[in-house]
A and B are shown apart, each in its own frame.
Chain A
Amino acid sequence: MTKEERLKKRHQAEKRFRFYGITSIFVALLFVVILVQNIFSKGSSAFKKTVITTEVFFDQELLEIQNGASQEEIMDADFYDIMIENLIKAYPAKDRDEEDELLKLFSGDAEIEIKKAFLNDNNLIGKTITLDLTASDDIDQLHKGNYPRDLPEERRRISDFQLVIYDYFVENKKISKNFNNYFFNNGDSRDPELAGIGGALVGSFYSILICLLLAFPVAVLASIYLEEFAPKNKITDFIEININNLAAVPSIVYGLLALQILLATIQLPRSTPLVAGITLALMTLPRIIIPCRASLKAVPPSIREGALAVGASKFQSVFHHVVPLALPGTLSGTIIGLAQALGETAPLILIGMVAFVVDIPSSPVDPSSSLPVQVYLWSESAERGFVEKTSATIMMLLSFLIVMNFIAVYLRQKFEKRWN
């Protein structure tokens, strides 16, 4: 082979390698784009809810309370008759069956929504106001274009008559889309139009907070001790190997551990963020220790020697010099560990967080759901309305993860000191 030929071959090898590299990056990006696009197209509609603009007349005869009633009186009062009387006027129905079908176009919370309007202004008796009442799941999906209306009637959840009413609403501009506050404020519900991730958000928040409070100090102290103070011998080698092993243990195993020890033996309340937080802390601990140790290891030995040489004790050299330098790496490792914990589902299913919880937890010992478990629960549900809710929850979860990872990267780049 001549010199020129060999040179050509070498250049070609490099070109081939570049081509493979670019192709794999392109393929990887393509999958990300498909995934994100899929989630967005399904989920973005969940941030809006369909409302039906309805006139509501507060008839004194149908209410036991007076103008100026106190909050408790209003809360206790029955608004059912007011609701029925007003809703059936939304469309001229001929008989009881038609009225029933008409009522089914509104969400199960119509009575509460009317009551809330009265709570805001307790002088409404004898007056008529216009309210945007939440539509039922079927109308919501129909209005968002997710529901095929050209199916034969017996295969549709919406009757022909309901379609007629819907078209009448559309024609008279009585139906519109509003910001979906229920999605953020409500807990879970059997009715998709009322279901929200409020409970899951609070549950996830408590879980991650407990996880952070337990895992961070233990992990940081353990890594500092192992890296800076512990003698290097068989025992510490053994501990090191096992920390790496623990980080690779499937998360469901931690769920089983928590089920046996936290729930069965210690009898902590099941389905609660407290148990979830402890379980996630166990799981996250080795995953924080590993980056913590790596960032301590990355501090050059010359800094330790410099401190020791001016007469700092071991403790001073570690806490005055090494730890502050390792802190950005430690924090970003912790945040990434927590981000993993936030997305963890399997162990939470085992400790009972799959329970159907309507109430938003007010403390870490209340039964609760969490974001990934909510995704799991809703993805199992048959109702069409839960499809968009599932994707929207994934969007929320992903945006938290992206924000956390961004903070981690920012901390590392901004505060990491460079030497030499």
Chain B
Amino acid sequence: MSNVKIKSKNLNVYYGDKQALFDVNLDLNEKEVTALIGPSGCGKSTFIRCINRMNDVIDICKVTGNIEMDGININDKDLDVVSLRERVGMVFQKPNPFPKSIYDNISYGPKIHGKGETKSELDQIVENSLKKSALWEEVKDRLEEPGTSLSGGQQQRLCIARAISVNPEVILMDEPCSALDPIATAKIEELIDELKKTYTIVIVTHSMAQAVRVSQKTGFFHLGKLIEVGKTEKIFKNPDNKMTQDYITGRFG
């Protein structure tokens, strides 16, 4: 069924002299959740940060190879990262709402992209984004309160709402639940399930259980190499590679 949304070809990433990713070839399917697992420092986050060119902010980082989104190479130096990031949203490991009101947190993206010219349009975007991120009922009466006053789980859902607000095609999630308690985690996972109907989602996680619960496809990284990728069921039940087997059974990592 699934179309390939993003395709990486021979992707190599270097931090100065150190190579962080080695010839990664990975396809991400449209409207599916792809989970990336692997021990710390294996390059999962580096990989997803290539998809929205977040690595650009690191001076010493160099990326070679291609990442194609809908057939267009997004690793092209001439590509405008601003419009790329409008299409590829990101949620970070630690909730990082702006120290502004809940409303401003969400309306900021649409404002700078010229979506929502009038106040009522913006109000609508804010409401829709909060509804999609399942936060609306909890905050609808206090949109003017600072985003930082919310609980950790709420803050993370606020960040998801912020990512949704510019109506992206892809959402990257870098260990979105690592700072949250199990209840908040469950809520985010439910949300991911809902969001995959609209968005292509890539999630980096350290929790095998989470990968199994939310994803359709899983990629296992080790020391900068993509060791194995396939349907989540297959990876967790019957992996081809011995290393994958060892990692998911907790023998190392």
Q: Measuring CB to CB, which residues of chain A are less than 8 angstroms from any residue of chain B?
A: 231-232, 300, 302-313, 316, 320-321, 325, 417-420
* Cα A320 to Cα B148 with chains together (Å): 17
Nearest A residue (CB) for B60? A232
A306 touches B148 (CB 8 A): no
In this assembly, does B183 line the interface, its C-beta being within 8 Å of a C-beta of chain A?
Answer: no
Closest Cβ–Cβ distance, residue B81 to chain A (whole Å): 8
Residues of A within 8 A of B99 (CB): 303, 325, 417-419
Which size bracket describes the interface of B in this complex? Answer: 20 to 34
Can you give 26 contacting A-B residue pairs, CB < 8 Å?
A302-B92, A302-B94, A302-B96, A303-B98, A304-B57, A306-B92, A306-B96, A306-B159, A308-B54, A308-B85, A310-B85, A310-B86, A310-B89, A310-B109, A310-B112, A310-B166, A311-B82, A311-B84, A311-B85, A311-B109, A312-B108, A320-B108, A417-B99, A418-B148, A419-B99, A419-B148
* Cα A232 to Cα B16 with chains together (Å): 13
* Cα A312 to Cα B148 with chains together (Å): 20
B96 touches A312 (CB 8 A): no
A310 touches B108 (CB 8 A): yes
* One of B86, B92, B113 near A305 (C-beta < 8 A): B92
B166 touches A232 (CB 8 A): no
A-B pairs, 7 with minimum CB distance: A310-B109, A302-B96, A309-B90, A311-B85, A417-B99, A311-B86, A306-B96
Residues of B within 8 A of A312 (CB): 82, 108-109, 112
A-B contact count (CB 8 A): 70
* Cα A296 to Cα B224 with chains together (Å): 33
A310 touches B97 (CB 8 A): no
Residues of A within 8 A of B84 (CB): 311
B-side interface mostly = helix
Residues of B within 8 A of A419 (CB): 99, 148
Residues of A within 8 A of B92 (CB): 302, 305-306, 309
* Cα A71 to Cα B94 with chains together (Å): 76
In this assembly, does B2 line the interface, its C-beta being within 8 Å of a C-beta of chain A?
Answer: no
Residues of A within 8 A of B163 (CB): 309-310
In this assembly, does B162 line the interface, its C-beta being within 8 Å of a C-beta of chain A?
Answer: yes
A311 touches B113 (CB 8 A): yes
Nearest A residue (CB) for B109? A310
**With contacts A306-B162, A308-B57, A312-B109 known, what are 15 further pairs, Cβ within 8 A?**
A300-B96, A302-B92, A303-B98, A305-B57, A305-B96, A306-B97, A306-B98, A307-B98, A307-B108, A309-B54, A309-B85, A310-B162, A310-B166, A311-B84, A320-B112
In this assembly, does B165 line the interface, its C-beta being within 8 Å of a C-beta of chain A?
Answer: yes
Known contacts A302-B94, A316-B112, A417-B99, A311 near B166 by CB under 8 Å? yes
In this assembly, does B200 line the interface, its C-beta being within 8 Å of a C-beta of chain A?
Answer: no
Residues of A within 8 A of B52 (CB): 309
* Cα A312 to Cα B80 with chains together (Å): 11
* Cα A313 to Cα B148 with chains together (Å): 23
* Cα A300 to Cα B163 with chains together (Å): 19
* Cα A321 to Cα B100 with chains together (Å): 9
Closest Cβ–Cβ distance, residue A187 to chain B (whole Å): 49
* Cα A420 to Cα B165 with chains together (Å): 23
* Cα A231 to Cα B84 with chains together (Å): 23
* Cα A300 to Cα B54 with chains together (Å): 16
Residues of B within 8 A of A304 (CB): 57
Nearest B residue (CB) for A316? B112
Nearest A residue (CB) for B91? A309
In this assembly, does B59 line the interface, its C-beta being within 8 Å of a C-beta of chain A?
Answer: yes
Residues of B within 8 A of A316 (CB): 112
Residues of A within 8 A of B86 (CB): 310-311
Residues of A within 8 A of B98 (CB): 303, 306-307, 321
A420 touches B82 (CB 8 A): no
Closest Cβ–Cβ distance, residue B150 to chain A (whole Å): 12
In this assembly, does B118 line the interface, its C-beta being within 8 Å of a C-beta of chain A?
Answer: no
Known contacts A303-B96, A310-B165, A310-B166, A232 near B59 by CB under 8 Å? yes
Nearest A residue (CB) for B84? A311
In this assembly, does B83 line the interface, its C-beta being within 8 Å of a C-beta of chain A?
Answer: yes
